[in-house]
Amino acid sequence: MKLALITFLAGLLFAGGLAVYTKEDIVKDYGKMFTAKVAATGEQKVVKKSLKKLPDTHFLAELVNTNPRMVAYLAENATAIDETKLNELTADPAALDKFYVEALKKDSTFTNVFVELVAHYLASKKSEIKGVTLEKDTVTLDQLTGIASKFFHADAVRPDGNIGWKIGSGITGMAEMQEVKHPIAEAFCYTAVVENYPKAATGIQNDFNTGAAQVQGEQKVVAGSVADTTLVAVRKGVNAYMAKSESLKKVLQAEYDKKKAFLNFVVQ
């Protein structure tokens, strides 16, 4: 029993009843949270990254298990992992997973962002990460809606000549997002869009359908013969339309109210 207690408290300090963790406590447990597996797409093997469910006793269980899309978004889009190396390891699943987890541990970009999210979460639970100073940015609801609008993405001209849309696609690499660098806000918006778009009652899907039809009409889109230049114009037009969507704003405000305790920004 004594040994179990010592193990439980390893890396954990107490200051006046406040649980104090270290950055190392978080990083060393990446293998308990993140994994990369080999998936088959036809005859091709591809890398599939995903989250593991943490045991309820883990100090980050509530954050990770109830916000998997946010955490997974950061692990996918706030990293600088060598994707080529990952793809080279598809013949050895064990080596692939090990390389991925170790790469995350070495990725200062990801760790800085993830630790910031964790720090705000722990603060909401009256705990802290040693040496991490908490600050919250101020964003407007219009700014959040602008970020969220980019997840309604006219992705490509399909082989049949029509526009292929992606709702909730990752925004890394989108030229229109290069000036927006707030990964946690992006992850929050991504999650809000993906989880609420299918719900007819939110009105988001209706706004998107209306906006897409309106913009394609303005651009004189002809089914079966969409040009790449038209695709870009439609993409920007629908993004602008959704940035003004009152339904999207209401959803973002409601989701923010649920999660504001552990977010690193304040909406004004």
Q: Is residue 1 assigned to a domain?
A: no
Q: Is the pLDDT of residue 155 over 50?
A: yes
User: Are 216 and 251 part of one and the same domain?
Assistant: yes
User: Average pLDDT in the 228-246 region?
Assistant: 92
Single out the residue in 66, 99, 129 at which a domain terminates. Answer: 129
Per-residue confidence band for 171, with pLDDT thresholds at 50, 70 and 90: low
User: Are 141 and 247 part of one and the same domain?
Assistant: yes
Question: In whole angstroms, what is the distance from residue 162 CA to residue 158 CA?
Answer: 5
Write out the residue range of the structural domain in which residue 203 sits: 137-267
Q: Is residue 73 assigned to a domain?
A: yes
User: Are 158 and 118 part of one and the same domain?
Assistant: no
Single out the residue in 103, 129, 155 at which a domain terminates. Answer: 129
Per-residue confidence band for 81, with pLDDT thresholds at 50, 70 and 90: very high
Q: Is residue 208 assigned to a domain?
A: yes
pLDDT value, residue 168: 85
Q: Is residue 163 assigned to a domain?
A: yes
User: Are 177 and 93 part of one and the same domain?
Assistant: no
Per-residue confidence band for 7, with pLDDT thresholds at 50, 70 and 90: very low
User: Are 151 and 112 part of one and the same domain?
Assistant: no
pLDDT digit string (tens) for 39-79?
987 778 899 999 999 999 999 999 999 999 999 999 999 99
User: Are 122 and 146 part of one and the same domain?
Assistant: no
User: Are 49 and 71 part of one and the same domain?
Assistant: yes
Tokens of 185: 């806000």
Q: Is residue 50 assigned to a domain?
A: yes
User: Are 256 and 190 part of one and the same domain?
Assistant: yes
Q: What is the pTM of this model?
A: 0.88
User: Average pLDDT in the 142-166 region?
Assistant: 89
Question: In whole angstroms, what is the distance from residue 142 CA to residue 148 CA?
Answer: 10
pLDDT value, residue 228: 77
Q: Is residue 125 assigned to a domain?
A: yes
User: Are 84 and 206 part of one and the same domain?
Assistant: no
Q: Is residue 5 assigned to a domain?
A: no
User: Are 76 and 147 part of one and the same domain?
Assistant: no
User: Are 113 and 141 part of one and the same domain?
Assistant: no
**3-state SS, residue 151:** coil
pLDDT value, residue 120: 98
Closest C-alpha among 97, 92, 94 to residue 51: 97
Other Cβ atoms less than 10 A from the Cβ of 237: the count is 18
Other Cβ atoms less than 10 A from the Cβ of 124: the count is 15
Query: For the chain, what is the domain count?
Result: 2
Per-residue confidence band for 1, with pLDDT thresholds at 50, 70 and 90: very low
Q: Is the pLDDT of residue 5 over 50?
A: no
Cα–Cα distances in Å, from 160 out to 140, 157, 225?
40, 8, 8
Q: Is the pLDDT of residue 10 over 70?
A: no
User: Are 107 and 141 part of one and the same domain?
Assistant: no
Single out the residue in 78, 101, 129 at which a domain terminates. Answer: 129
pLDDT digit string (tens) for 173-231?
455 554 557 999 999 999 999 999 999 999 999 999 999 999 988 888 777 777 778 88
Q: Are strands 44-51 and 34-41 parallel, antiparallel or unpaired?
A: antiparallel
**3-state SS, residue 247:** helix
pLDDT digit string (tens) for 82-134?
999 999 999 999 999 999 999 999 999 999 999 999 999 999 999 999 999 99
Q: Is residue 167 assigned to a domain?
A: yes
